[in-house]
Amino acid sequence: MPHDSNSSRAAATARKGQTIAQKIIARHASRSHVDIGEYVNCVPDHVVTQELYWPTHKSNLDKIGATRLARPDKAIIVIDHTPSAAVGSAHAATHRLLKDLTAKLGVENFFGPNTGLRHLVLVERGFARPGSLIFSDEGNIASIGAVGALNIPTSADILVPLLKDENWVRVPKTVRINLHGKLQSGVSARDVVQSIIRDYGAGEFLQCCVEYGGPGLQHLTLDDRQTILASTFHTMSDTAIMDVDELALRYVEERANGREYSAVRSDPDASFERVIELDISHLTPLVTVPPELTGATDVNSLAGTPVHQATIGSCAGNRLQDLRDAALILKGRTIAKSVTMYISPGSQNVYAQAAREGLLETFALAGATVLSPGCNTCWGYLGVLSDGENSISTHQFNYQGRNGAESARIYLGSPMTVAASAVCGEITDPRQLLTSATVPSCIAEGG
């Protein structure tokens, strides 16, 4: 076919700028430009998986006769859902399987029990960096977007990039959310993302990358940003990412260990599916009512709802900022006798720093049980609910049977809201407990 140079130049001129996702995907597809909706093969920087899927993965590897990975140096395998394998548990065998298999396959980046969630492993250990692309097995690993890395979730297809060092990617549309203002006292990043899921969780962001930016970003810690990104997939988006600022770049620089990275920003003329301006200064503490993830409502509309279990953990609520927020409420107080409380730090680093800051002591004196780093309670491995019980947690899901009995009800909230509710034995606005001079109504009334 003859090449029409004039037509090519006209097409290039007509092209609009690219979003962050487009630029990262194009770079890893060895392209200068990719179009929204286009399918391209990308070579990842890393491929990350967790242990629950590996008995099936190993079976599939055996079926096809695969005995080696294309790039074992890119593989990151983490035992993060079952940090402790109890008597009679099949997970002990999985732990041994992975110890043996990773040694056989030459996977040096294998992180065993109690290392923490792979989300935090990627960020804390410098694997996730600005401009990098990572294939993973879950959408919530979009939390790595806080340092400008793009998560591409592939679920069961994760073996493809492990075996071929590439996989196809459909270039997503991008929704831009510009954050404005500053959170009020008692309101946290979890309330931000719960409000977004409530307002846009019915499919408005389907097949999109959600790109966060705006002046309000500067008021959020890196932990806050990861919390927002970790739950954005509940909007049915493909992935999410944030603008990289000096805070994120300083963090990356300390952990990159000589690995290359390059901050990526959307072009001024990039094509966005939608642009949303969100003023976070007007938000109040929210609680999501089961069983729908879009059911966030003001905490005070649920005041007095009894609580039997309170849990702080999961990739949506287990970072140092989350533990600090909970300690603000729990320090000098004890949880109600009717409540069992669990706290799961997200990683060894979070656990160690929480110990240095005295947070673990605060939790222990309050009557909470601090678990080893990992997913633990979110998927029902620990902290199982009985019939008719109510829990309030920082978990990702609240559908019936997620954490035990079908009749149990799971309310979702911020670490401060969870801690306040644990103290009172009922869903409580954390702003009532934020100062030592404040006596919450549940205590004043003898609750």
Q: What confidence score (pLDDT) does residue 437 get?
A: 57
Does residue 198 share a domain with residue 63? yes
Q: Do 181 and 324 reside in the same domain of the chain?
A: no
Q: How far is CA 373 from CA 319, 343, 350, 355, in A?
A: 10, 9, 8, 13
Containing H/E element for 393? strand 390-393
The answer to the question of residue 380 being in a domain is yes
Is residue 7 one of the residues assigned to a domain?
no
Residues 6+ apart with CB under 8 A from 128: 46, 122, 134, 144, 147, 149
Asked, for residue 15, whether it belongs to a domain, the answer is no
The whole-number pLDDT of residue 440 equals 64
- Looking at the fold, whether 246 and 329 belong to one and the same domain comes out as no
* 132 domain-assigned: yes
Q: What is the pLDDT of residue 83?
A: 85
The span from the CA of 232 to the CA of 66, in Å, is 35
Do residues 250 and 306 share a domain?
Answer: no
pLDDT of residue 204: 93
Question: Are 310 and 413 within one domain?
Answer: yes
Per-residue pLDDT tens digits of the chain, which is 447 residues long: 334 434 443 344 457 899 999 999 999 999 999 999 999 999 999 999 999 999 999 999 999 999 999 999 999 999 999 988 777 788 999 999 999 999 999 999 999 999 999 999 999 999 999 999 999 999 999 999 999 999 999 977 999 999 999 999 999 999 999 999 999 999 999 999 999 999 999 999 999 999 999 999 999 999 999 999 999 999 999 999 999 999 999 999 999 999 999 999 999 999 999 999 999 999 999 999 999 999 999 999 999 999 999 999 999 999 999 999 999 999 999 999 999 999 999 999 999 999 999 999 999 999 999 999 999 999 988 999 999 999 999 999 999 999 999 999 999 999 999 999 999 999 999 999 997 555 566 765 544
Are residues 254 and 353 part of one domain?
Answer: no
183 and 61 in a single domain? The answer is yes
14 in any annotated domain = no
Q: Is residue 408 part of a domain?
A: yes
Q: Are residues 200 and 246 in the same domain?
A: yes
> CB–CB of 418/427 below 8 Å?
no
Last residue of a domain, one of 279, 296, 327: 279
CATH code: domain of residue 178: 3.30.499.10
Question: Can you give the pTM of this predicted structure?
Answer: 0.94
H/E segment holding residue 180: strand 173-180
For residues 58 and 137, state if they share a domain: yes
Out of 279, 312, 332, a domain closes at: 279
**What is the per-residue pLDDT for 436?**
57
Give yes or no for a contact between 122 and 90, defined as CB atoms under 8 angstroms apart.
no
Is residue 70 located within the same domain as residue 90? yes
pLDDT at 9: 38
Alpha-carbon gap, residue 22 to 380, rounded angstroms: 37
The type of residue at 337 is K
Residues 6+ apart with CB under 8 A from 110: 77, 78, 98, 99, 102
Nearest to 433, CA basis, from 443, 420, 444:
420
The reply to whether 62 falls in a domain is yes
Diameter over CA atoms, the chain:
85
- Do 334 and 262 share a domain, yes or no? no
Q: Residue 171 is part of which domain span?
A: 20-279
DSSP calls for 366-388:
HTPEEPPSSSTTTTTSSSPBPTT
Nearest C-alpha neighbor of 178 from the set 230, 218, 147: 218
pLDDT at 155: 77
**CA–CA separation, 348 and 442 (whole Å):** 35
Number of domains in the chain: 2
Nearest to 175 by CA among 267, 241, 220: 241
Residue 4, domain member (yes or no)? no
Structure tokens at 186: 């008692």
The total number of residues shown for the chain amounts to 447
Strand order in the sheet with 296-298: 296-298, 286-288, 409-412, 390-393, 309-312, 340-343, 369-370
Specify the pLDDT at position 87: 73
Is-contact 56 64, C-beta < 8 A?
A: no
Kindly state whether residues 334 and 263 are assigned to the same domain. Answer: no
Domain boundary among 236, 255, 279: 279
| Per-residue model confidence (pLDDT) at position 122 | 98
